[in-house]
Chain A
């Protein structure tokens, strides 16, 4: 169940992500659950604490406790920043010191609507053409898709570490780290 996106938006955005980072010889955005990363960001404030910063210091993947599973609380200034970024300024004076801010929620809602409910049925080349025609929105989703593909799985993406496995990357390695030989030798 998505936390912010509607089911239809979720379906459209899943197709968008699968064109931006396609599953070709290996896994892509679909296998990594990139759309869940984006939905978690857009709905970050439906959780308490909000899903902005994983706590750490370790994930438990290389020793230590799984501290990435917890999230940190925000200070009032940080909450102001993140609510403005995600929800937009919504006409609130404290969010409009330098004028109105369009939030990510609105940009996604409008971007997905502009691509239309028929997007998932288009052929891959038609989908690419539609994304090129909405280049600004495609660039926004691509940025988040990269984060959801190659960031820590606790943020909702990189499911089963498919992103890191694809590139043979260990991800967070504390508290184990790397040995001197792993640093210095070929």
Chain B
């Protein structure tokens, strides 16, 4: 825990949040000689803080613990969020779990299943390459792929990524191979990726933050299958563990778990410390020469708003990937519960082609862009059991398993365009157990996402049929709202994607951006934002590797004072 209020600890930086962003910033700052304090509101189940070489083992293959019982937090009963589609909904239509990722030492990456591809060169230049779209604020990033490439390489080495260089024809150039070869392909992904190839697509082994061989002092993944939404019992995942260990071993970092930042203290355009509140109810201001905010793209704008940061764009342009699920029923059992949940992906739908241009034209859009498609199937029995109606036949359905062990799925993480009405702000009435206003998410998809999903789901359906599926179903998240769509349910207008971006976008001009091209707040340049809040556009890829690469780059520059 923390030592409580004290005097003259004089940290060079306080980092809020210990997820991938905060951990990468902690590493970059300690490696450049800075002293840092990482405050994390959640518990520590990851590293022995007295002996950082030792890892705690409290993660387990336990669907009750990690599913309905919120082991890694946040528990919506004490830390809810609220949701509405637009202002027309009134203050809110839902209170509860909205896009939560774990609140724990290591952050969301602890239970992610870790597909960590790099972005394409085009992802940094979307406005230049594709052009504007009415109703959205498409922009270029204030940096390009080449600026980030060395940090991508460093990030892959730190996290530990397995993959096959050269297997994806669309990938941007890389200066080094992946640190590890790919792990074993799941049976279902072998079927669907072979079918995708026959359909002229280019599937490849998913770049994955899980050890395929022993790496970083941690063992190889043994395919237990409790991967997505679970912590790894044997620490084979490339969660932020290695970065946090290294930062701690430098002797210049401390981590205080169960310590919540309630306000960044900013006076005359400079941060002077962070107000903290711990589980013993102690509240004090811990002084520091600078502050790094890496609380995740929903909690970061919330904290900055609670801190009185004023910028008309703060919280705006919230983006989630628009997910298109196409599931196919196969005659044979697929044993989808063995392996790392996703072992193959394809990127073809990020690239403009004649068919997508025609689909865009038909929808009255200048262009459409999909996202990376995950070849997947994993789901577990409790989740499955809740899908079948209760009563006679329930056991027979479970034994036959049409909704789990015979289901192969393709999931597209579609590009979500930035819209100024999609935003995070403070709920006017709902509070968390600490008494602070919670984050309210206002979100509805752009026409672009619906048109792209519509177009590419047809292609994915054909792939599944080609792989041997007897029938297929398509769903999206968010589901466009109808009066009957339940909020917070499986099918809901609340995006299920745990990829959250935007909300404090970076750019060159303070009139168009909250952070400068190096992630610093225009309103207080000794505050660095080191998570996906700064992303100007969403790309069609999981954000985590880019969060880490960007945090490494920006924190090193922050330390150097450039």
Binding site for B on A (CB under 8 A): 19-28, 52-59, 67-68, 72, 75-78, 80-82, 84-85, 94, 97-98, 101, 128, 131, 138, 142-143, 145-147, 149-152, 155, 163-164, 166-169, 171-180, 182-186
Contact = CB atoms under 8 A, between A and B. Distances in A.
Contacts of B58: 55-57, 72
A105 B445 CA distance: 40
A51 to B, nearest CB: 10
A56 B438 CA distance: 33
Looking at A77, A81, A146, A179, the one whose CB has the most chain B CB atoms below 10 A away is A77
B225 interface: yes
A76 B332 CA distance: 48
B65 A54 contact: yes
Nearest to B393: A24
B167 to A, nearest CB: 17
B313 interface: no
Contacts of B398: 150, 166-167
B492 interface: no
Given A128-B391, A183-B184, A184-B185, A57 B233 contact: yes
A135 B338 CA distance: 35
A167 B60 contact: no
Interface of chain B: mostly helix, strand, loop or mixed: loop
A97 B190 contact: no
Contact size range, B: 35 or more
Contacts of A178: 222-225, 338-339
B88 interface: no
A169 B258 CA distance: 37
B187 A185 contact: yes
A78 B45 CA distance: 14
17 contacts: A24-B393, A26-B399, A53-B71, A68-B62, A75-B43, A77-B78, A81-B77, A97-B435, A101-B77, A146-B386, A150-B381, A166-B399, A167-B381, A177-B224, A179-B223, A183-B184, A184-B186
Contacts, number: 185
- 5 closest A-B pairs by beta carbon, nearest first, are A177-B222, A56-B60, A172-B61, A146-B385, A180-B184
Contact of B395 (A24, A177, A186): A24
A54 to B, nearest CB: 6
Given A27-B395, A97-B431, A98-B431, A163 B381 contact: yes
Interface in B318-366: 332, 335, 337-339
B64 interface: yes
A181 B57 CA distance: 27
B214 to A, nearest CB: 14
Contacts of A128: 391
B558 interface: no
Contact of A20 (B63, B64, B391): B391
Interface in B79-115: 80, 95
B54 interface: no
A84 B60 CA distance: 25
A37 to B, nearest CB: 9
A150 B78 contact: no
A82 B77 CA distance: 8
Nearest to A78: B75
B224 A174 contact: yes
Contacts of B338: 178, 182-183
A26 to B, nearest CB: 5
A97 B433 contact: yes
A174 B78 contact: no
A151 B64 contact: yes
A67 B433 CA distance: 31
A142 B394 CA distance: 11
B562 interface: no
B481 interface: no
B260 to A, nearest CB: 9
Nearest to B333: A186
A115 to B, nearest CB: 15
Contacts of B394: 20-22, 28
B62 A54 contact: yes
